[in-house]
């Protein structure tokens, strides 16, 4: 399965996971680089690069925590704030329409 660059974040993430799996296979040493390259449709030099990157950055997994979880928590806080803002606007507008006595404004 050849690796191709994509602008789609989900595809990019999947490709990163594939690269990590290939690099882990190379670290195991159960197959030669040539065998891995043939199996995955990439050049052996590329696998060597991914293996080196994996070794160089493996410690960051434990240093930085989980950035995806932190991003998800930030998004949840932002969305909760937006829900609160929209609720306040709805309540304000509902009250303002009710003061005009319009039959169409009543629920």
pLDDT at 71: 84
Question: What are the boundaries of each domain within the chain?
Answer: 1-65, 66-107
Distance of alpha carbon 31 from alpha carbon 107, whole angstroms: 71
pLDDT at 3: 52
pTM (predicted TM-score): 0.50
* More confident call, 30 vs 9: 30
pLDDT at 6: 47
Cα 33 to Cα 57, 58, 90: the distances in Å are: 21, 20, 62
* More confident call, 18 vs 102: 18
- Could you read off the pLDDT of 61-70 as tens digits, one per residue? 777 667 777 8
């Amino acid at each position: 399965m050849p690796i191709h660059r994509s602008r789609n974040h989900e595809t990019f993430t999947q490709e990163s996971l594939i690269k990590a799996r290939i690099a882990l296979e190379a670290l195991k040493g159960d197959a030669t680089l040539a065998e891995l390259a043939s199996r995955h449709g990439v050049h052996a030099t590329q696998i060597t690069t991914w293996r080196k990157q994996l070794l160089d950055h493996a410690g960051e997994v434990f240093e930085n925590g989980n950035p995806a979880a932190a991003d998800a928590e930030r998004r949840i806080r932002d969305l909760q704030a937006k829900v609160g803002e929209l609720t306040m606007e709805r309540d304000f507008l509902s009250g303002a329409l009710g003061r005009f006595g319009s039959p169409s404004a009543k629920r």
